Structure 1
Amino acid sequence: MSKIALITGATAGIGEATARLFAQQKYNLVLLARRTERLQLLAENLSSEFGIEVKTLVVDVREKEAVQKLEGLPEEWKKVDVLINNAGLSRGLDPINAGDTDDWDVMIDTNVKGLLYVTKIVSNWMIKNGSGHIVNIGSIAGKETYINGNVYCATKYAVDSLNQAMRIDLLPHKIKVTGIHPGAVETEFSEVRFKGDKERAKKVYDGFEPLHAQDIADTIWFAVSRPAHVNINDMIVLAAAQANTTHLLREV
């Protein structure tokens, strides 16, 4: 029987690239995202192109009750081998005293609480199944705090801490936990941060080649495809032009 991967935030960027790569590897997929039409189109394309089965759930991971829809999946779809907690975002780039508290709520609810809601359900399936692998997408922002990053960085530091906690708590159940921490990746991330300002978002990547979503999908696959006795605990992945959160080699 084909293995199953469950991916959150599946309709764009890293999530979409990862769904495509796992489909190529003949995984059946459970895809979660907020945008109905994009989710359905992706599912149809992957199923047609790779001959896999795809289940979709239109879910905003911030909403605890909506995440409970997962429990309604047929039992055979609860045999999830890999959970990829990819859903995440940043909103705003302001000093703490000028921050928008609504933006703070969105980031905390998505990046931390949403990850927890999904993980609680799926980890219990994995415990019942006797194995599993959880991959949490963090950020270099969860390793180094940068100016005006405050709450976003805090949420990704929380993910980093949760990686360590999950690894301890789930060890007796033979569940692997991997943290992947990308640097600058050109996806919809900056557009979301700047609330649709495409010009400002584009300037983030001026003068250097950032990472692409496929680069992170490849990294996730590398971690997941190791032998059963190997776990990749933690990986920081940066563009060659990026030394850390603040030092970039821009050629302008």
Structure 2
Amino acid sequence: MMLPVFKYDKKEMQMVSHLTRIRKNNMSRIIILVIILFPLIEIGQLIGLRNTTGENFHPAFASFLSGASQGHITQILLLWFLPIYFLLVVSDDSIMDYLTGYRNILISKVGKKKYLLEKMITSFLVGFGVMAIALTLNVIITSVVFQGGDSMRGMEEMTFDDNTLFHFGITHRYIMAIIFIFITSFYTGLVSLLGASMSLLFLNKKLAYPATFFIWFFFILQNKSIMLLFQPFAEYGISDLLGIFIASLLTFIIIPILVYIYEARYAED
């Protein structure tokens, strides 16, 4: 009996090679482990808080993105520094190709456009996937550890006129947690894509890292920070989030498109 033979095009083979390098790279594996551990550390903090106060949180409210612990240190360490983590894991791969001379070999094999697309697509998928795994694992564990808990620190008793998002979250807590896991994972993918774009544009870590970090922090430091997009059960309504959502989304999509057009049509290797 003949077994089916799966054939990959050159771009898919390049992606497989890219993912294999990530899997075998000790630095990448350590950083991915750290990203997964941050939400788990949060669970430990909340268990300690429960033991101290006797307050048993609702599992969805105890999830990482809710920021139920005091100080929000783990959220700050993970979310504020997202560009650095994923530049090191996946997004600066094109810089390494350039420094080792592998870039020209790959471009000669697959073509410039496929080379650019692979770097961008892989960066987005790795960013999205790693964050989705970390946050989903966190919710699964909180659902077991805080089973039967119902406390949301009084938020369940609060009312905000015309704030349908808040009331939806209080009524459908697990659905709200899942929605924000997707949003956060999607934006993590976009940040990783942004890092890949800056790396492809500059081919220099001293330029790509600060450029990516500057754009990300620009949205963090706004009066209505991009961090609000990652917080379920907050008192902000859709109208409060719409401006930063549109501005950040357009920025993180338009910049990679412009970089791709420039690199594919005008840049010389």
**TM-score normalised to structure 1 length:** 0.34
Q: Which has the higher contact order (CA 8 A, sep 6+)?
A: 2
Bigger fraction of residues in helix: 2
**TM-score normalised to structure 2 length:** 0.33
